[in-house]
Amino acid sequence: GRSCNADEVIVVGGGIGGLTTALALARGGRPVLVLERADAFTEIGAGLQLAPNATRVLDRLGVLERVVAAGVLPRRLVFHSALSGRELTHLDLGDACRERYGGPYVVLHRSDLLAILVDACRAAGVALENGRHVVSVTDEPDRAVVTCADGAAYEGALAVGADGLRSGVRSRFSDDEPVCSGYVAYRGAVPMEQVSGAGELHDVRVWFGPGLHLVQYPLRTGSLFNQVAVFRSPRHAAGDTEWGTPDELDEVFSATCAQVREAVPALWRHMRWPMYDREPLDTWAAGRTVLLGDAAHPMLQYLAQGACQAIEDAVALVRALDGAAGGLGAALKTYEEQRVPRTTRVQRTARVWGDIWHVEGVAALLRDELFVQRRPDDHRHVDWLYGTAAG
């Protein structure tokens, strides 16, 4: 064991969700300890989109300036048909968007964001420990007890389960399993000059077609080009356990237009990400334990909101703890009541949004027609997501 601080909050998992939470707690004057299983705080070397609903929070936490300096402010989110290459519609992400939603839309390298959060946590006095594989979180009447695989035990006032899609802390609340979508993602962030036809790239571009899509955007002041290619695996659909392999990637994308096909060689082929989410959960808090981020609400990435929602969770939790007259139980209830309906909607909408991107036949024709007819200043599909209504 370790000498304990009865007021300390113990955060299990040092990803974007856990570190943002630790920072928000520490800025509010609380002692915080983060226990991370990996030997270092790292993220994969690919890109991340942060919408205004997340950047507003990062601003309040005092790190937005660094995030913007490390990232790129894209001008537009542009949707194309992956088959014809036709531009269908776009959303302005520039100044007008920033004004409307009170925060910029930023794309940046995941490792840059993590480094900024780690630095800010250190400066705010957060205790950060690596190589701590948490194996149990239990409640005593007056404290939470967190135990690691090496036997180390920690006691604090509250344990926050920010341990991701395969959360162990979540098993306190549900015996559910991640749901496999049958889709797989390939990523790659490569020097801009390695990408043929990258050209003028200040936008986030999405190309969609039957059972597939490609997302592209620049990183690090435009020196890197980030791409994510996603497709439904025919072999997964056929029940094969070896699925989503690079030969399937090539096969599926051979049906797309030249600009999309040209993107494929720049993707990393030695790694792939089969895509999972989970069904929404209505209880995230019990006793002195609470869930946050992907541990609470893992989602398909089509709205680019998983990390954004984790960042929203972080401030909502701290606000609930600060505002609680009725003690910890009431505070956690407030957090849950505020967050569950919102993240449930985002999880469900992400699935539907993916279906809209991936349809084929007549449905795809109708989708394309609706996209083309949409007025570029029509924000009704994103106001609920990027706006301030949720706090």
Report phi then psi at 322, rounded to 5: -65, -35
Nearest residue to 22 (alpha-carbon basis) of 283, 285, 293: 293
* Token pair for 305: 């909101």
H or E element that contains 201: none
CB of 175 to ligand FAD, least distance (A): 17
Q: Which of 48, 64, 88, 281 binds ligand FAD (CB under 6 A)?
A: 48
Answer yes or no whether residue 198 interacts with ligand FAD by CB under 6 A.
no
How would you list the strands of the sheet with 143-148, edge to edge? 134-140, 143-148, 153-156
Answer yes or no whether residue 36 interacts with ligand FAD by CB under 6 A.
yes
Alpha-carbon distance of 19 to 357, in angstroms, equals 32
Answer yes or no whether residue 354 interacts with ligand FAD by CB under 6 A.
no
Q: Identify which of residues 89 and 305 has a Cβ nearer to ligand FAD in the complex.
A: 305
Q: Which of 117, 214, 249, 308 binds ligand FAD (CB under 6 A)?
A: 308
SS3 209: strand
Answer yes or no whether residue 63 interacts with ligand FAD by CB under 6 A.
no
Answer yes or no whether residue 103 interacts with ligand FAD by CB under 6 A.
no
* Token pair for 378: 């029509």
Nearest residue to 370 (alpha-carbon basis) of 25, 243, 67, 378: 378
Report whether 9 contacts 25 (CB < 8 A). yes
Is position 217 annotated as part of the catalytic site?
Answer: yes
Of 35-43, 193-201, 249-257, 279-287, the window that binds ligand FAD (rule: CB under 6 A) is: 35-43
CB of 379 to ligand FAD, least distance (A): 19
CB of 215 to ligand FAD, least distance (A): 8
CB of 71 to ligand FAD, least distance (A): 12
Secondary structure E strands in 233-288? 273-277, 285-286
Give the per-residue contact string, 144-183, with ligand FAD (x = CB under 6 A; - = no): ------------------xxxx--x---------------
b/e 322-343 (16+ beta carbons within 10 angstroms → b): eebeeebeebbebbbebbbebb
Catalytic residue among 217, 302, 335, 386: 217
Secondary structure E strands in 131-191? 134-140, 143-148, 153-156, 158-161, 179-191
Q: Which of residues 210-249 bind ligand FAD (CB under 6 A)?
A: 228
Question: Residue 150: CB partners within 8 Å, gap ≥ 6?
Answer: 132, 133
Answer yes or no whether residue 305 interacts with ligand FAD by CB under 6 A.
yes
CB of 375 to ligand FAD, least distance (A): 25
Alpha-carbon distance of 315 to 344, in angstroms, equals 18
Answer yes or no whether residue 134 interacts with ligand FAD by CB under 6 A.
yes
Q: Which of 75, 98, 100, 133 binds ligand FAD (CB under 6 A)?
A: 133
Answer yes or no whether residue 294 interacts with ligand FAD by CB under 6 A.
yes
Q: Identify which of residues 17 and 354 has a Cβ nearer to ligand FAD in the complex.
A: 17
Give the per-residue contact string, 5-24, with ligand FAD (x = CB under 6 A; - = no): -------xxxxxxx------
CB of 260 to ligand FAD, least distance (A): 17
Q: Give the count of alpha carbons within 13 A of 348, CB side only.
A: 8
3-state secondary structure 111-143: HHHHHHHHHHHHHCCCEEECCCCEEEEEEECCE
Q: Which of 81, 301, 338, 347 binds ligand FAD (CB under 6 A)?
A: 301
Nearest residue to 348 (alpha-carbon basis) of 163, 179, 101, 168: 179
Answer yes or no whether residue 276 interacts with ligand FAD by CB under 6 A.
no
CB of 354 to ligand FAD, least distance (A): 12
- Residues with active-site annotation: 217
Q: Which residues bind ligand FAD (CB under 6 A)?
A: 12-18, 35-38, 48-49, 132-134, 162-165, 168, 185, 228, 273, 293-295, 301, 304-308, 310
